[in-house]
Structure 1
Amino acid sequence: MLIDKIKNRESGIILYGITPPKQGTSPKHIQDIAHKQVERLLGLGIDGLVLYDIQDEISRTSQTRPFPFMATLDAFDYSQNYLQDLNVTQIIYRAVGKYTQAELSQFLQAISPHEQLTVFVGAAAKSQAVTLSMDEAYALRSSLHPDVLLGGVTIPERHQSKGDEHLRVFHKMKQGCSFFVSQGVYDVNAAKDFLSEYYYYGLEHHIPLVPILFTLTPCGSPKTLAFMKWLGIHVPRWLENELIHAEDILQTSVDVAEKNWLELKSFADEKGIPIGCNIESVAIRKVEIDASIALLKRIQQSLK
């Protein structure tokens, strides 16, 4: 089980991430979407399913969003009402700044510690108005339901500019985080820099390392690439050129993602750092979703 693997600090955990349908979608269409998602994931042998909680990140950047923001159905409600046939542990994201203390309390009291985990996500920018801070959310979980396994978000590229991403991770571990899911990774060197600092700080301070799950996502078009960059995913300039000029940008991106994973796995295995991956498609086009499933199978093959 995913929960046991995380508690045992195992390597090789594989997750798949999805976003619930948009608010305003008809009940019939929601059922159709859920059926396709369940059908697609049944029998794939993933350790867990990530259900994202989308927030408007307009305060994070002044750049125009390539795709308009559209609120989605509540991830927990979608899980409970539409994904019952998918027998896999689910990780419910919570962008805590969107919720009141009462709302987050209700969620924490409803979630099952044996079947579901949660990841708390902070504000997209310091200027973003929030109703609940991360410290308040951590304290709430600790007091109401400490048995619910808690994860955090890490952004390896942030380490290049601020040099303290590993310290953020260890701080979150003190507040109860037992695993971390990264933002999408296209800059493998930034991810290795972060892992190196994470490893040596833990070694020096005698702190056992928890699993770091790197997010891998295919890119099927220049517009998807622009969206990923808007989201904050750093794509090195040379790689951006390779993708834009590739005969098949989607296949090239899948190859790059697999290569990055193998490089990270080799680096981590040498030091005994527990890592895994979370595979997603940031686009809703079928061809890109299919590519994410193909990538998932290639990653699974690499672990055999």
Structure 2
Amino acid sequence: MASAPTATAAELLARTRGGVLLHGLTPPRQTSSPDQADGIAAAALKRLRSVQVDGLILYDVDAEADRAATPRPFPFMPMMDPADFLDRHLACWDGPVIVYRAVGKYTGEQLEHWLSGADRDRVLTVLVGAASRHQRVRTSLPEAHRRHAALPLPPRMGGVVIAERHAAAGAEHLRMLRKQDAGCEFFVSQVCYDLDHTRDLLSDYTHTCRERGLDPRPVVLTLAPCGSMKTLEFMTWLGIDVPRWLRAEIDRGDPLAASYEQCLLNARALIAYCRRLGLPFGINVESLTNRKLEIDASVDLARDIRDLLG
């Protein structure tokens, strides 16, 4: 039986004033047996035992076939529902968990049923809309927000933030404010490699909040090491901007060493910048693939970032 949580969902958000550390996990394949899923969960928690992360993020993987015109570099594999993975296989994790919901996969009733039954003391959620306006969905993000708002005690809700959209159109901070109006209490970024794109977004969001008399919500910034050109292709397909000079380093040298060093430099710079802005924040570390090399590197990176956070 799991012990009582070491921190509640509300406490996790409160601690973002000084910076929190999270680790992102993708659930096992849908075809995994219960024993295999138990083993995957146990291995993940064993790796994280020495890191002292403040919380987990569980992703909800969708095919996103309309995301880009180019083919997906890695074939899409249906994954276990993150909420089921948490309930059935991660019971021994006693900290807060952010469960993603790709709302387009679910009917409004299915989404509302899960929101109504989630453990609000332990579980937070990030509601994610379609990757493309052409994607066919069962529930739109605005409808998901309305259903969340209509419930008496749903889990605390967050939203996705993408610095690349801000670099392209300059309006991502306004999108964040609209999500904030819809009930988002925090944000989680796409993987950050372009430091200037990320700082521009954080600056515009924080200063616009203060101009409007609003308190900025916590922003969790995601970092992930890249161990191969194939992973770099996948990052590009996902819409992650990697500076040209770093792409050359990854292509011509040791990909993992080059990307790891940059992730650590970015973490140091972003921690200092968020603290200077007075913006509550977190750092989330994940692996974009299931390659052991990149998974191990993500745990090492989380450990180094824990030291930076103090």
- When residues 219 and 145 of structure 1 are mapped into structure 2, their CA distance, relative to the original with a 3 A threshold, is farther
Distance 1:288 1:200 in 2: 36
Write out per-residue CA displacement over residues 238-283 of structure 1, whole angstroms, 9 at most, x where no aligned residue. Answer: 111111112x211221110010111122222222112221100011
CA gap of 1:40–1:9, structure 2 versus 1, over 3 A, is closer
CA distance in 2, matches of 1:208, 1:8: 15
Match of 1:104 in 2: 111
- CA deviation profile, 1:97-116 (whole Å, cap 9, x unmatched): 11001110110122010011
Which position in structure 2 is the counterpart of 1:245?
A: 252
Q: Which residue in 1 is equivalent to 2:126?
A: 119
Which of 150, 154, 167 aligns to 2:161? It is 154
Structure 1 match to 2:183: 176
Residue number in structure 2 paired with 1:288: 294
Q: How many residues align?
A: 303
Q: 2:281 aligned to 271, 275, 280, which one?
A: 275
Provide the residue aligned with 1:261 in structure 2.
Answer: 267
The one-letter code sitting in structure 2 at the alignment partner of 1:128 is Q
Aligned letter for 2:278?
A: G
Partner of 2:202: 195
Q: Which residue of 2 aligns with 1:229?
A: 236
Q: Which runs of 5+ in 1 are unaligned?
A: none
Asked if 2 retains the 8 angstrom alpha-carbon contact of 1:6 and 1:210, the reply is no
Is the contact between residue 153 and residue 181 of structure 1 (CA under 8 Å) also seen in structure 2?
yes
Which residue is equivalent to 1:297?
303
Partner SS state of residue 201, structure 1: helix
Give the 3 Å change call, closer, same or farther, for CA 9–280 of structure 1 in structure 2.
Answer: closer
1:9 and 1:209 in contact (8 A); partners too? no
Tell me the amino acid that sits aligned with residue 92 of structure 2.
D
1:145 deviates by 4.1
Counterpart Cα distance in 1 of 2:228 and 2:221: 22
Contact 1:180 1:211 in 2 (8 A): yes
| 1:74 match | 81
Rate the CA distance shift 1:10–1:180 in 2: closer, same or farther, 3 A.
same
1:272-303 deviations in whole A, cap 9, x for unaligned? Answer: 11222110001111111110001001101011
8 Å contact kept, 1:42–1:86: no
Evaluate the alpha carbon distance shift between residue 137 and residue 42 of structure 1 in structure 2; reply closer, same or farther with a 3 A threshold: same
Matches of 1:198 and 1:296, distance apart in 2: 26
Residue 82 (structure 2) pairs with residue 88 (structure 1): no
Report the counterpart of residue 24 of structure 1 in structure 2: 31
Q: What does 1:40-51 correspond to in 2, within 5 Å?
A: 40-51=47-58
Instruction: Give the gaps of 5 or more residues in structure 2.
Output: 1-6
Q: Distance in 2 between matches of 1:46 and 1:238?
A: 31
- CA distance in 2 between counterparts of 1:83 and 1:31 reads 8
User: What is the letter of the counterpart of residue 177 of structure 1?
Assistant: C
Matched residue type, 1:236: P
2:203 aligned with 1:204, yes or no? no
**1:176-228: per-residue Cα shift (whole Å, max 9, x none)?**
11111000000011001101111221121111011111100000011111111
Aligned equivalents of 1:126, 1:39: Cα separation in 2: 40
Structure 1 runs of 4+ with >6 Å offset: none
Q: 1:30 to 1:147 in 2, by over 3 A?
A: closer
Q: TM-score with structure 1 length normalisation?
A: 0.96
Q: Which residue of 2 aligns with 1:166?
A: 173
